[in-house]
């Protein structure tokens, strides 16, 4: 049973103290202070604490600081220590070592992921608040990343059909002054500089500033760019009962857009099919199938957060977070559509490639406020942790697109000889093909109770009501559309604890996705025999799960789960005329993960998942249901770090991913691969540490991610990264 009685008075967020405790390899100067800090695992706040090492204590999954052991769903958490040990740079790097998840290419301009067979560009959160614009999220200011698997609408709201990713940011620590600076460079010349400084500005207040500057490079021709980010955060204890935190983040990202290689069409019939699937175009690992200087994406993001907390008593508390964010994004690209190889007998005499492209802009403002009232107490012999919450928000978006026009073809596509580098025909972006503005207003109410019955049984039950009201102004077609949905999202979990460190659970959860999609672009009217979306009910997601969790030791945890996730009421394209039907999918799977310290010297993060993703109620081929796209059947990963001495350590990582289909037509198959990573660490003294990470140690040729049949990312060859960290 949770308790709110031991909240630290040193600063409003007990987990802010722990954020640094697990960063011994970053802020060495704070080690002694952190060792003396005490904390309460049960404290309720969005940002929760974590243990030293790779094991996290709790997550945002119930909004009550509940231990992961008592959370009836699968949650994978990657701590700051593991992020630093593996020199992980983005969300995609993290998911390579997370069972049940795979990486999408995101058209070279955004984070795009698949969790339990559900592809998304928007199910991202920061400190429990929605962060749904399409961009690459930096990791410089985080204490950990949480991957919540299965539908999560009861806690996080709409979407999240397969799961959500929540980034937990660092917070200030009062009465402490410390800092760290990091410099890193890799074999391709990409580098970054980052800093983390905490300063006490009063007995009960502190300022923390995290900053990042990085420049991009890789094995592809003409790829470059840079990113700047800064995140100052100030926090204060206003009284023994009240705390406040104010945070501002600025991100400026300017980089090349690389949409990878096309599929390799067979020249005899120029067709890839379910019966005879194609593979990626090989032999062009480094070739950039775009135009240098044209293929680029820029983002300027301003994110302001205010959080207040108040304890009415030892058992009753309230917290509220308000976020205002503005995102200004440009995305411009030329990309391959298909490649046809020469066949003098049955086909063309020369290799050729077809190109397409467009220019896309997005401007979005998010205003979201969320509040949670938490009571922990008892009714007779039954314990309760009761959560009553609300969320209110408005999101204004403007999106416009201009297709490319090639002068030679007078079309948005052109076929040219396949050369390295590719030719650059004359082009322009003359006219809008899409110009839309949307205004979304939503509010939510949710109620949840965590019930403890004796020492061995717990019940988690909750329900959320969402009102989702969107107006779309289709400026291009002079059409205004509106859709309003009112949905209930239930969640229930039963937990049996045969002993304090073991839980066995079963759970059910439901989520929904409005017809306007996760980026508010797909709302369309019904025209003729084409099925529009404005009159359709939201898509639904139902997850059934059985799992077990075992804290083998305080620093070593084992989790495993069996699940079935059904997606229904999904609009599926039937033909080239835009006719659609309603269909769905089913993903059944198993996953297991072991995280933590096997010994005092050896840490491990090992995972495996089996996913069987099938399309349902849609077109079949040869009487067989098609497989879900970008869902490898088998994924396995292992990362280990061994401390040979107090100064010298080594790490080894292995990831394996079985083959996957690029798109739902199952006509292009991406081959399986196994990649090996390694690392060496040397602590020069208490303030200075260096490390050398090697990715793709055996120079494997592989294709790690994909967007569709003709946008397939090529994996980097062997790459070394040298990192030095100085604490003060």
- Spatial distance between the Cα atoms of 466 and 370, rounded to a whole number of angstroms: 13
- Looking at residue 268, its pLDDT comes to 53
Residues 703 and 671: beta-carbon distance below 8 Å: yes
Residues 339 and 418: beta-carbon distance below 8 Å: yes
pLDDT (mean) for 594-621:
89
The phi and psi torsions of 502 (rounded to 5 degrees) equal -135, 135
Q: Which of 38, 68, 42 is nearest to 383 (CA)?
A: 42
- State the alpha helices, DSSP H only, in 24-149: 31-36, 80-85, 91-95
The two structure tokens encoding residue 366: 């998010």
Q: Which of 723, 728, 643, 713 is nearest to 259 (CA)?
A: 713
Mean pLDDT check: name the lowest of 22-31, 91-100, 172-181: 22-31
- Spatial distance between the Cα atoms of 389 and 447, rounded to a whole number of angstroms: 6
pLDDT tens digits for range 233-269: 999 999 999 999 999 999 999 999 999 999 987 655 6
Residues 488 and 465: beta-carbon distance below 8 Å: yes
Q: Which of 129, 141, 34 is nearest to 83 (CA)?
A: 141
Given the structure tokens 């090492």, which residue do they identify?
53
Mean pLDDT check: name the lowest of 530-534, 577-581, 603-607, 623-627: 577-581
Quote the percentage of the chain above a pLDDT of 70.
88
pLDDT (mean) for 170-180:
94
Can you give the C-alpha Rg of the chain in angstroms?
Answer: 25
- Spatial distance between the Cα atoms of 262 and 264, rounded to a whole number of angstroms: 6
Strands 264-265 and 316-340: parallel
DSSP-derived letter for residue 395 is E
pLDDT tens digits for range 533-591: 888 889 999 999 999 999 999 999 999 999 999 999 876 544 444 445 567 899 999 99
- Spatial distance between the Cα atoms of 228 and 707, rounded to a whole number of angstroms: 27
- Looking at residue 526, its pLDDT comes to 72
Strand order in the sheet with 75-79: 75-79, 142-149, 163-169, 124-126, 129-130
Q: Which residue has the higher pLDDT, 619 or 126?
A: 126
DSSP sequence for 166-183: EEEE----TT--EEEEEE
What is the biggest distance separating any 2 CA atoms in the chain, rounded to whole angstroms? 85
Mean pLDDT value across the chain: 89
- Spatial distance between the Cα atoms of 728 and 726, rounded to a whole number of angstroms: 7
Q: Which residues pair with 299 in a beta bridge?
A: 253, 329
Q: Which residues pair with 598 in a beta bridge?
A: none
- Spatial distance between the Cα atoms of 93 and 637, rounded to a whole number of angstroms: 12
Q: Which of 588, 587, 597, 610 is nearest to 558 (CA)?
A: 597
SS3 content of the chain, % helix, strand, coil (to 5): 5, 55, 40
- Spatial distance between the Cα atoms of 714 and 261, rounded to a whole number of angstroms: 7
Model confidence at 281: pLDDT above 90: yes
Q: Which of 621, 613, 610 is nearest to 585 (CA)?
A: 613
- Spatial distance between the Cα atoms of 305 and 131, rounded to a whole number of angstroms: 12
Q: Which fold has domain 14-343+350-708+719-727?
A: Maltoporin; Chain A (2.40.170)
Residues 42 and 7: beta-carbon distance below 8 Å: no
């Amino acid at each position: 049973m949770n308790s709110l009685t031991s909240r630290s008075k040193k600063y409003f967020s007990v987990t802010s103290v722990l954020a640094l405790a697990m960063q011994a390899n970053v802020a060495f100067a704070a080690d002694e202070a952190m060792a003396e800090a005490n904390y309460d695992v049960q404290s309720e706040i969005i940002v929760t604490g974590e243990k030293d090492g790779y094991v996290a204590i709790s997550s945002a999954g119930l909004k009550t600081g509940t231990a992961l052991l008592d959370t009836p769903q699968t949650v994978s958490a990657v701590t700051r220590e593991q992020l630093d040990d593996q020199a992980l740079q983005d969300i995609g790097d993290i998911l390579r070592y997370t069972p049940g998840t795979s990486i999408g290419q995101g058209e070279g301009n955004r984070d795009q992921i698949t969790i339990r067979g559900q592809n998304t560009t928007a199910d991202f959160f920061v400190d429990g608040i929605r962060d749904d614009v399409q961009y690459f999220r930096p990791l410089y200011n985080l204490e950990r990343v949480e991957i919540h698997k299965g539908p999560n609408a009861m806690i996080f709201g709409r979407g999240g059909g397969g799961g959500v990713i929540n980034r937990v940011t660092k917070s200030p620590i009062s009465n402490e002054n410390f800092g760290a600076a990091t410099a890193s460079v890799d074999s391709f010349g990409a580098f970054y500089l980052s800093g983390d400084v905490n300063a006490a500005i009063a007995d009960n207040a502190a300022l923390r500033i995290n900053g990042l500057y990085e420049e991009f490079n890789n094995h592809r021709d003409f790829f470059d760019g840079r990113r700047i980010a800064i995140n100052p955060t100030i926090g204060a204890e206003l009284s023994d009962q009240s705390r406040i935190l104010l945070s501002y983040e600025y991100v400026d990202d300017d980089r090349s857009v690389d949409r990878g290689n096309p599929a390799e069409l067979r020249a005899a019939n120029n067709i890839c099919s379910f019966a005879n699937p194609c593979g990626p175009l090989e032999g062009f690992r480094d070739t950039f199938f775009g135009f240098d200087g044209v293929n680029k994406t820029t983002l300027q993001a301003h994110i302001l957060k205010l959080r207040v907390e108040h304890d009415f008593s030892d058992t009753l508390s309230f917290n509220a977070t308000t976020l205002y964010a503005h995102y200004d994004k440009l995305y411009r690209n030329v990309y391959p559509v298909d490649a046809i190889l020469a066949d003098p007998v049955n086909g063309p005499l020369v290799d050729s490639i077809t190109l397409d492209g467009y220019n896309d802009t997005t401007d979005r403002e998010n205003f979201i406020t969320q509040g949670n009232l938490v009571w922990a107490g008892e009714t007779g012999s039954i314990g309760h942790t009761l959560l009553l919450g609300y969320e209110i928000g408005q999101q204004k978006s403007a999106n416009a697109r201009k297709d490319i026009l090639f002068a030679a073809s007078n079309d948005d596509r052109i076929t040219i000889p396949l050369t390295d580098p590719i030719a650059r025909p004359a082009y322009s972006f003359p006219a809008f093909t899409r110009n839309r503005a949307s205004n979304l207003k939503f509010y939510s109410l949710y109620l949840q109770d965590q019930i403890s019955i004796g020492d061995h049984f717990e019940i988690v039950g909750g329900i959320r009501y969402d009102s989702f009201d969107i107006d779309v102004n289709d400026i291009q077609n002079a059409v205004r559309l509106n859709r309003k949905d009112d949905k209930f999202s239930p969640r229930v979990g039963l937990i049996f604890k045969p002993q304090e460190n073991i839980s066995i659970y079963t759970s059910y959860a439901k989520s929904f996705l409005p017809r306007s999609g996760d980026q508010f672009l797909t709302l369309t009217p019904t025209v003729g025999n084409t099925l529009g979306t404005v009159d359709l009910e939201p898509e639904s997601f139902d997850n059934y799960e059985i799992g077990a969790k075992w804290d083998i030791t305080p620093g070593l945890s084992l989790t495993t789960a069996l699940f079935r996730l059904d997606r229904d009421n999904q609009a599926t394209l039937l033909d080239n005329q835009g006719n659609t039907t309603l269909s769905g999918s089913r993903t059944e799977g198993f996953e297991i993960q072991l995280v933590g310290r096997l010994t005092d010297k050896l840490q491990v993060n090992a995972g495996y998942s089996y996913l069987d993703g099938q399309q349902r109620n849609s077109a079949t081929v040869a009487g067989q249901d098609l497989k879900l796209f970008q869902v490898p059947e088998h994924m396995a990963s292992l990362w280990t770090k061994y401390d040979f001495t107090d100064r010298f350590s080594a790490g080894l990582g292995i990831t394996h991913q079985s083959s996957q289909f690029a798109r739902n037509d199952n006509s292009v198959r991406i081959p399986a691969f196994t990649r090996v990573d390694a690392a060496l660490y040397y602590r020069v003294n208490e303030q200075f540490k260096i490390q050398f990470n090697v990715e793709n140690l055996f120079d494997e040729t592989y294709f790690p991610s994909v967007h569709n049949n003709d946008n397939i990312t090529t994996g980097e060859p062997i790459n070394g990264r040298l990192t030095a960290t100085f604490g003060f």
